[in-house]
Copies of this chain bind each other. A is one copy, B any other.
């Protein structure tokens, strides 16, 4: 909580019916430090207007271009914009707002191709404005605790990583049954070269790099489309190697029957291990060598400063996905306040580098699989 003014936010995309738009708004506003007041919520003008009304926005726009220009010209214009469009629009929208001098917080993956992501990173690096990528899972207190533990050497040298992100929502051909989400995600024209790896494999990849503080340097990826006639992957099994010498597996699936949103990670080092499950996110299992497992808990027994600063409720009052999302926003908004106040930003959130690495991972996994599931460098 600070005494500085409430920041003004805008949003592009995410209108009526898109789950992720509402999540961005809630996350941005949760701590009372920002309000989303302007938006171009849809490329369809009527839907954009309707959504703006429903969201009680002060200023609705028909196009993101018009919005960027108009907001930049106002004394009370927005401080930052949320990019919640389909992936192929991330680059043009980001460019428009950065050019207009407005900070950007963008949904992941950063772009629909590696080339686009690199172009976007160049843009961000040239432009002085802030850029955040909402890799939500880095916002969970116990993920931050795990990262802090690795950084502090509590696990020793990292030897083994097992990460998995399994869902089942595409186990039937929903794209042929009128499901809009399934339609675009399985359509190469709109989703790019990957469905499952691009959508959720990227989260698993990011989580490995975030917690270990290392990069994935090589992968061997076996991608599949189990549902008949699907042109993009709905499942992947990968071997991975890390920059520090560790090895492991990365699994993602959208056809794993019975799984909801099962992002799980285990990291084993020479001195200890950790285990975390996104669906029960307030517990981190710590496995010190030669001693009983410990159950570290949000608020109760998360010992790192970062984890401690990422909670809003006392111990035993569970926090979830929205709070994790809001933690990414909290760091981003604190940086916006710093810049507003003339101070240097701290950049404690994923940005353009993570975005490029994510797309590089997607590109490499498709390349590996196409070559018969052989090893490729990232």
Known: A159-B255, A247-B224, A260-B297. A318 touches B281 (CB 8 A): yes
CB neighbors of B among A223-278 (8 A): 224, 226, 235, 237-239, 241, 247-249, 251, 253, 255-262, 266, 268-273, 278
State the Cβ distance, A336 to closest chain B Cβ, in Å. 15
Quote the shortest CB–CB distance from A356 to chain B (angstroms). 26
For A255, give the chain B residue with the smallest CB separation.
B159
With most chain B CB atoms within 10 A of its CB, the pick from A241, A257, A320 is A257
Q: Is A100 an interface residue (CB 8 A)?
A: no
A79 and B26 alpha carbons, distance in the complex (Å): 22
Are the CB atoms of B235 and A259 closer together than 8 Å? no
- Asked if B321 and A318 make an inter-chain contact with CB atoms under 8 angstroms apart, the answer reads yes
A22 CB to closest chain B CB (Å) equals: 7
Report the separation of the CA atoms of residues A81 and B216 in the bound assembly, to the nearest whole angstrom: 51
Interface range on chain A: under 10, 10 to 19, 20 to 34, or 35 or more? 35 or more
Which segment, of A48-56, A83-91, A102-110, faces chain B?
A: A48-56
Tell me whether A363 is interfacial, beta carbon within 8 Å.
no
C-alpha spacing A280/B318, complex, angstroms: 7
CB-defined contacts of A287 to chain B, threshold 8 Å: 257-259
Contacts of A56 in B (CB 8 A): 5-6, 32
Copies of this chain, whole number: 4
Residues of B within 8 A of A320 (CB): 282, 313, 317-320, 323
Whether A268 and B293, one on each chain, are in contact in the complex, defined by CB atoms closer than 8 angstroms, is no
Are A268 and B253 interface neighbours, CB within 8 A? yes
User: Which one of A70-78, A162-170, A204-212, A327-335 contacts B?
Assistant: A162-170
CB pair A317 B313 closer than 8 Å:
no
A109–chain B nearest beta-carbon distance, Å: 18
Of B282, B323, B375, which contacts A279 at CB under 8 A? B282
Structural contact, B255 and A160, CB atoms closer than 8 A: yes
Docked complex Cα distance between A145 and B335 (Å): 41
Q: A171-B289, A312-B26, A322-B312 are in contact. Are A268 and B261 (CB under 8 A)?
A: no
B255 touches A316 (CB 8 A): no
A213 at interface (Cβ–Cβ under 8 A)? no
> Is A295 on the interface with B (CB-CB < 8 A)?
yes
User: Chain B: which residue is nearest A300 at the CB level?
Assistant: B260
- Shortest CB–CB separation between residue A307 and chain B, in angstroms? 13
User: Would you call A29 an interface residue if the criterion is a C-beta within 8 Å of the partner chain's C-beta atoms?
Assistant: yes
| B261 engages A314 (CB within 8 Å) | yes
Q: How far is the CB of A159 from chain B (nearest CB, A)?
A: 5
Q: Which residues of B contact A346 (CB under 8 A)?
A: none
The CA of A56 and the CA of B299, in the complex, are separated in Å by: 26
A238 to B294, CA, bound (A): 29
Quick check: A319 and B321 within 8 Å, CB to CB? yes
Q: Say whether, besides A257-B289, A294-B292, A316 and B262 are in contact (CB < 8 Å).
A: yes
With known contacts A159-B235, A257-B271, A321–B315 Cβ distance under 8 A: no
In the complex, the answer to whether B291 meets A301 with C-beta atoms within 8 Å is yes
CA of A262 to CA of B273, assembled, Å:
14
- A235 nearest CB neighbor, chain B only: B160
Q: Determine whether A182 belongs to the interface, using a CB cutoff of 8 Å to chain B.
A: no
How far is A160 from B286 in the complex, measured between Cα atoms in Å? Answer: 28
- A1 adjacent to chain B (CB < 8 Å): yes
Would you list 6 pairs from A and B whose C-beta atoms are within 8 A, ordered by A residue?
Answer: A1-B55, A32-B55, A220-B220, A257-B269, A259-B273, A291-B301
4 new A-B contacts, CB < 8 A, other than A220-B220, A253-B268, A279-B282, are A2-B54, A256-B266, A261-B315, A318-B318
